[in-house]
Amino acid sequence: QREYSCEHFRWIASKWCENYTLTHKRCRQPNVTHFEYSRAEELCGECKPKNYPPWMDMIKRLKEATNS
């Protein structure tokens, strides 16, 4: 389990149980063997500000111009 400063946490699998490997269904009760606190200064992927490349604005403007 990994905890972030935004108070979200994520389950990071380093090894899957044999049942999941065969069925691709998650186990009801995960077996947490490691808890990571080192992400306390980091935001999770959902909360991080999005950094779009500069050309993304050009695509948006082009779409808006064709829809008008």
pLDDT (0 to 100) of residue 35: 67
Q: What angle do CA 32, 36, 37 make, to 5 degrees?
A: 135
> Domain residue spans in the chain?
1-68
Contacts of residue 31, Cβ cutoff 8 Å, sequence gap at least 6 = 17
The mean predicted confidence, pLDDT, of the chain is 76
5 pLDDT band, cuts 50/70/90, is confident
51 pLDDT band, cuts 50/70/90, is confident
Please say whether the beta carbons of 32 and 22 come within 8 A: no
pLDDT of residue 64 exceeding 70: yes
Q: Region 23-34: what's the mean pLDDT?
A: 74
DSSP code, position 2: E
